[in-house]
Amino acid sequence: MAFLAAAIQMKGGRDKAANLERAERLIGEAARRGAEFAALPEVFSWRGRRDDAPAEAEDLDGPTLTLMARLARELKLYLLAGSIYERVPDQTRSHNTSVLFGPDGARLAVYRKIHLFDVDLPGRVTVRESEAMLNGSEVVCVETALGKVGMTICYDLRFPELYRRLAFAGARIVTIPSAFTFPTGEAHWEVLIRARAIENQCYVIAPAQFGPNVHGFADYGNAMIVDPWGRVVARAADREDIAVGAIDLDYLESVRRNLPALTHVRIRGGQGD
């Protein structure tokens, strides 16, 4: 089985209405180009000051995800709402939450980012995601008509044990909606995505934010789709763009059959793995 997927690259800011209008247009364009699976980047609907985040956080049935469900239903595609700030009762901090919708508009899976990005690169980038976000804890892999999908977000990319758990859970496709900083992205984004694809013999769909952002530094962009052999099958240009590439699950099975590394795993991690 083969189908087209789209990794959307866009720039989100403080104007939620403008962000959602842009996202809707790009999703529509992905559908017109034949995509059956479209994925938006991390925090696509709103990016702003941490002090403003509690007011901008939404529930899972809030306006942003209601719109995403409608678009998935109207365009008859699988739609990954990259991530939003999800309101947490009695908390000022939010979850960084990714939601997958089916072509009937049904909510298929919800993943809350496990690994939060706290980093200080002197003179370049300082990010304290944990000041505005709460960690999730659940590994999420969901069955769809297009194959099992494992869900992750951005900084999760640096933690290979999560992806191995998803592979063992049956994931054929892994999503990594991101807003990767330029310094770390230039050094590690592509090599880590290709490594996760090769290690786990899966397709990776990695939509991304790009360019200067509201926090005063730049996002790396390079939204891409990578196959189980580690080849980049589609990559966004350095602008608002859509990377459209083929997901061929028969090819994936041939890779796993000809190089059965996942069946040779002897160290499966710690308690609970």
Active site residues: 42, 113, 154
Tokens of 71: 């678009």
Beta strands in 118-164 (DSSP E): 118-121, 125-128, 133-134, 140-142, 149-151
Q: How far apart are CA 205 and CA 210, in angstroms?
A: 16
Closest CA to 67 of 46, 96, 52, 93: 46
Closest CA to 263 of 168, 195, 159, 160: 168
As a residue count, the chain comes to 273
Residue 97, phi then psi, degrees to nearest 5: -120, 130
220-252 as b/e: b if 16+ CB within 10 A = bbbbbbbbbebebbbbbeeebbbbbbebbbeeb
